[in-house]
């Protein structure tokens, strides 16, 4: 009799991989348009920005914090770079990208400094920052979109072209950017002393402080990293859409947070992997894409996605409670 115990997942990422496979099989049978190269590429491209944001947020969650302001930061950075071109014809691609990353990082550092100096719960500070930045942006711009953008920003480029069954396809710049950032994030967290300190702070900040880890600096790095990822994600989103819309990104924070939690990151800190985060992103992407292809209403789609997220969180917390249960009853 075959031994199926080896197939039983031993981690949240393992369970998530099985769930992903199950949904892929279901939607493949429900719609002949789902499991096509073009649909899968389009799906990956459209959720690349969500993935970039999620990788940044994951680093913050590892330290035991949370940041809701990344979409507003991305929107402000987008408008700043676009305004420099419109007002002053500033058309240097490298300097524009560097300026965007510096500005995003600065917003993240400000969040960290406010959290550590005021000793206020991170979600309160970052929700306030989100409201402040988005409100200022809409007030200053009147909600006006910008369409006159530099060619380096909106000209679509062929990155990794390939052929499949006689048809030509390409892996676009947004997906490549997300994968590069995923590699850098994995390298940071798994192969560096800084990464070990990030996990240590999330596991127990007081213990980390006692062994000499400068917890405040670790938080500044984590929130600064998310700010930089927000800036890059904002630039990539404009590359995909060809325009700067002030309110295009704000409101999608739930998908990003859900992806990181689905991927195994804990809201209490100290847990999670980059691969799990990416699987969480693409689980949400596959759910929304597949339900759309089989004609499910957008309203019911939100119910399904919310239900999957709730079940995943419940299972994760149940497993954690069982692991830490030391009672003898």
Task: Express each pLDDT in 267-280 by its tens digit.
Answer: 777 888 899 999 99
Query: Hey, what are 308's tokens?
Result: 């999957």
What are the DSSP calls for 214-274, one per residue?
-HHHHHHHHHHHHHHHHHHHHHHHHHHHSSB-TTSSTT-HHHHHHHHHHTT--TTSS---H
For helices 48-62 and 215-241, give the axis angle rounded to 10 degrees. 170
**pLDDT tens by residue, 136-158:** 999 999 989 999 899 999 888 87
pLDDT of res. 156? 85
Buried b (16+ CB within 10 A) or exposed e, 285-300: bbbbbbbeeeebeeee
Name the percent of the chain lying above pLDDT 90: 49
Chain mean position to CA 139:
27
- DSSP assignment letter at 6: G
Chain segment 108-128, per-residue pLDDT in tens = 999 999 999 988 889 999 999
pLDDT digits (tens, 9 = 90+) for 228-256: 999 999 999 999 999 999 988 888 888 89
H or E element at residue 164? strand 160-164
pLDDT at residue 323 above 70? no
Confidence label for 258 from pLDDT (cuts 50, 70 and 90): confident
Model pLDDT, residue 324: 55
User: Under CATH, which architecture does the 9-157+169-324 domain have?
Assistant: Orthogonal Bundle (1.10)
DSSP string of 286-302, one letter each residue: HHHHHHHHTT--HHHHH
Alpha-carbon gap, residue 238 to 205, rounded angstroms: 38
**pLDDT, tens digit, for every residue of 211-222?**
888 999 999 999
pLDDT at 167: 81
pLDDT over 60 at 313, yes or no: yes
Do residues 23 and 283 make contact, with C-beta atoms less than 8 angstroms apart?
Answer: yes
User: Measured between alpha carbons, how far is 288 from 299 in angstroms, rounded to an integer?
Assistant: 11
What pLDDT is attached to residue 257?
A: 87
Q: For residue 160, what are the β-bridge partners?
A: 171
* Per-residue pLDDT at 311 exceeds 70: yes
Query: Does the pTM of the predicted model rise above 0.85?
Result: yes
Domain ranges of the chain: 9-157+169-324
At 326, the pLDDT band (50, 70, 90 cuts) reads very low
- Helix-strand-coil split of the chain, %, nearest 5: 70, 5, 25
Residue-averaged pLDDT of the chain? 87
Query: Is the distance from CB of 4 to CB of 136 less than 8 angstroms?
Result: no
- Is pLDDT above 90 for 295? no
Asked if 118 and 234 touch (Cβ cutoff 8 Å), the reply is no
Residue 183 backbone dihedrals phi, psi, to 5 degrees: -65, -45
At 13-54, the pLDDT tens digits run: 777 888 889 989 999 998 888 888 889 999 999 999 999 999
Q: What is the pLDDT of residue 165?
A: 79
Half-sphere exposure of 118 (CA within 13 A, CB side): 13
Which contacts of 133-140 are long-range, i.e. CB under 8 A and separated by 24 or more positions?
A: 133/69, 133/72, 133/73, 133/75, 133/76, 133/107, 134/72, 134/75, 134/247, 134/250, 136/76, 137/72, 137/75, 137/76, 137/79, 137/246, 138/246, 138/247
Greater confidence, 52 or 306?
Answer: 52
Which pLDDT score is estimated for 316?
A: 61
Q: Determine the Cα angle at 158 with ends 155 and 162, to 5°.
A: 160
Average pLDDT over residues 92-108: 95
Q: What is residue 1's predicted lDDT score, i.e. its pLDDT?
A: 46
């Amino acid at each position: 009799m075959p031994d199926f115990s080896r197939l039983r997942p031993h981690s949240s990422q393992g369970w998530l991989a099985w769930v992903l496979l199950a949904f892929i099989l279901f939607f493949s049978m429900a719609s002949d348009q789902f499991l096509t190269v073009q649909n899968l590429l389009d799906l990956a491209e459209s959720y690349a920005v969500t993935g970039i944001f999620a990788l940044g947020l994951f680093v913050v969650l590892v330290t035991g914090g949370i940041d809701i302001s990344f979409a507003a930061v991305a929107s402000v950075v987008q408008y700043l770079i676009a305004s420099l071109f419109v007002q002053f014809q500033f058309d240097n691609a490298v300097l524009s990208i560097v300026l965007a990353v510096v500005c995003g990082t600065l917003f993240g550092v400000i969040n960290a400094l406010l959290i550590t100096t005021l000793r206020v719960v991170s979600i309160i500070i970052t929700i306030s920052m989100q409201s402040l930045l988005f409100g200022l942006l809409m007030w200053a711009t009147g909600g006006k979109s910008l369409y006159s953008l530099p060619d380096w920003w909106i000209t679509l480029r062929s990155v990794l072209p390939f052929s499949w069954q006689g048809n030509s396809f390409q892996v676009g710049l947004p997906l490549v950017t997300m994968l590069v950032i995923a590699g850098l994030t994995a390298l940071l967290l798994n192969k560096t002393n800084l990464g070990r300190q990030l996990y240590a702070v999330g596991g127990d900040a007081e213990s980390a402080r006692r062994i000499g880890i400068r917890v405040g600096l670790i938080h500044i790095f984590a929130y600064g990293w998310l700010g930089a990822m927000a800036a890059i994600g904002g630039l990539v989103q404009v590359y995909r859409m060809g325009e700067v819309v002030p309110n295009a990104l704000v409101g999608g924070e739930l998908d990003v947070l859900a992806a990181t939690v689905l991927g195994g990151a804990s809201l209490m800190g100290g847990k999670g992997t980059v691969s799990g985060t990416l699987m969480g992103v693409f689980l949400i992407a596959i759910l929304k894409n597949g339900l759309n292809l089989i004609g499910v209403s957008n309203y019911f789609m939100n119910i399904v996605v919310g239900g999957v997220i709730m079940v995943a969180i419940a299972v994760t917390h149940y497993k954690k409670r069982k692991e830490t249960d030391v009672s003898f009853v």
